Amino acid sequence: MLDHLPNQSPEPRSVWTASTQMPLYGSLRDDVRTDVCVIGAGMAGLTTAYLLTQAGRSGVILEDGDLVSGETSATTAHLSNAIDARYLEIERLHGERGSRLTASSHTAAINTIEDIVRKEKIECDFERLDGYLFAGPNDGAETLREELAAVHRAGLTAVEMPRICASAVPRGRACLRFPDQAQFHPLKYLAGLARVITRDGGRIYARTHADQVSGGALAQVRAGEYLVSADAIVVATNTPINDVFAVHTKQAAYTSYVIGMRVAKGSVEKALYWDTERPYHYVRLHQMVDSAGPYDLIIVGGEDHKTGQAHDTEERHSRLRSWAQERFEVVGSEQFAWSGQVMETIDGLAFIGRNPSDKDNVFIATGDCGMGLTHGTIAGLLLRDLILGRENAWTDLYDPSRKTLRAAGRFVKENMNVARHYAQWLAHSSVATTEEISPGSGAVLDRGLRKCAVYRDESGEIHERSATCPHLGCLVDWNPGEKTWDCACHGSRFDRFGKVLHGPANRDLAE
């Protein structure tokens, strides 16, 4: 089924949200008892709930917004075992066995998605295709040869370095071809999964914010005035809202940008693409339709930076636009421009398993590392097994309590960066009075010893909140591109009025 655009809006929206009507669910209105309570209806939460429902467990899903309104709606939906951190690095950090398990788990994730699509007859444009990792302008063939050797040691022996790359790879650049990758429409897939979950007895509650999580023989989630009691709780909120410290010192939030532009028909070979630049570009096609018939949209992502540490959204989209125009036969102006957040762990792999600070029946899935659709599916498979008491070969590799000694340098670097941001408390605000804030804009203001996040709406009315992030007390900063308040320490984000959009903070900015 091709995608029409029913309702374009000026808000930054991805091609997926603009082309799908998601099913709506009511909010929690009673205390509930269930086998498993999953918090978060994104890729990780819905996959876990689906697999547990199929294994005969009753499940309740609590979602703060509407179905799939988090980072999954901002993805580009490459389904790959090519690993963004690269196999050379995974092997250095996790050893050859770890590297093999990494490859086999991501391969299993793609296969699982394909099996579910077939079994549940979900129309979500799933298709198998090749993936090309190609050298950036500063990398030669040697870099890719070394990576290829590591990829083969990881067990992906069908990956090759072809003499001729797909046409979208710049002439003269070396590439690796990864066969049997896949792509799909993530929202159509998850809308299908949600329907199957509810068909088979699962209950989904939207617009239901989980305030508190406690482990124990009977684990509990407090959501406003209601209580969900369960044998197990899965916190699949992209970054855990129940863990204050442990996991957040081992991962950092990065914002990534995406544009979607129409290209001349047949001018780009359908495949997944990544280059080796830092930050790297990632590319795929998606077929759309308008009154003249079907056409190809090229989706290009990249320009990542640590969340809260750059505020030049338009420039970053513009650089992606130029990058695409230099390489592809772009037709007309850009149709989509959006951004989202990825959680980069210090050792390149997700944290999936028992929550380190709360080992009794509370599980987490986080640290997507830009591969959150395969990691989210691995989470479903692994958490299902842990909850059912089954063995799973991936348990140690993804254990959230793991200490990867060879990643100590990155651990220090990320946490020094966090520490530097607390120094903002000593700096003076960039504006002195609310009069300096223009309509539709925000700034942090000094109010004696306190700092306030002040937003002036389009009609000129002032909305004022504390600028202290409720997670661990860093200062938030105004992001003019997204019109959000972002915390540079661990990536919490709040809307212009201070409502929490992304954890680890689990409360709004204080009045």
Give the x/- contact pattern for ligand FAD in 150-179, rule: CB under 6 A. Answer: ------------------------------
Task: Give the binding range for ligand FES (CB under 6 A) out of 74-82, 116-124, 134-142, 489-497.
Answer: 489-497
Which of 82, 83, 73, 183 is closest to 124 using CA atoms? 183
Q: How far is the CB of 85 from ligand FAD (least distance, A)?
A: 13
Structure-token match 């990155």, residue found: 410
75 binds ligand FAD (CB under 6 A): yes
The residue from 240, 370, 470, 491 that contacts ligand FAD (CB under 6 A) is 370
> Which residues, in sequence order, are CB contacts of 409 under 8 Å at separation 6+?
none
Task: Give the binding range for ligand FES (CB under 6 A) out of 108-116, 208-216, 217-225, 482-490.
Answer: 482-490
Residue pair 438/456 in contact by the 8 Å Cβ criterion: yes
Q: Note the Cα 194 to chain centre separation in Å.
A: 19
Q: How far is the CB of 211 from ligand FES (least distance, A)?
A: 17
Residue pair 400/364 in contact by the 8 Å Cβ criterion: yes
Give the x/- contact pattern for ligand FAD in 302-341, rule: CB under 6 A. Answer: --------------------------------------xx
Separate counts of helices (H) and strands (E) for the chain: 9, 23
The residue from 34, 72, 102, 105 that contacts ligand FAD (CB under 6 A) is 72
Give the x/- contact pattern for ligand FES in 34-53, rule: CB under 6 A. Answer: --------------------
The residue from 237, 374, 492, 506 that contacts ligand FES (CB under 6 A) is 492
> Which residues, in sequence order, are CB contacts of 400 under 8 Å at separation 6+?
246, 247, 351, 352, 353, 354, 355, 356, 364, 366
116-119 contacts, C-beta under 8 A, 24 or more apart: 116/50, 116/193, 117/184, 117/189, 117/192
The residue from 36, 371, 469, 505 that contacts ligand FAD (CB under 6 A) is 371
Residue pair 442/452 in contact by the 8 Å Cβ criterion: no
252 binds ligand FAD (CB under 6 A): no
Among ligand FAD, ligand FES, none, what does residue 140 contact (CB within 5–8 Å per kind)?
A: none
Which of 400, 368, 363, 356 is closest to 385 using CA atoms? 363
What phi, psi does 76 have (nearest 5°)? Answer: -110, -5
Return the bridge partners of 336, or none: 260
12 binds ligand FAD (CB under 6 A): no
Which residues contribute to the site for ligand FES (CB under 6 A)?
469, 471-474, 487, 489-492, 504-505
Which residues contribute to the site for ligand FAD (CB under 6 A)?
39-45, 62-65, 69-72, 74-78, 209-210, 236-238, 241, 256, 258, 301, 340-342, 368, 370-374, 376, 503, 506
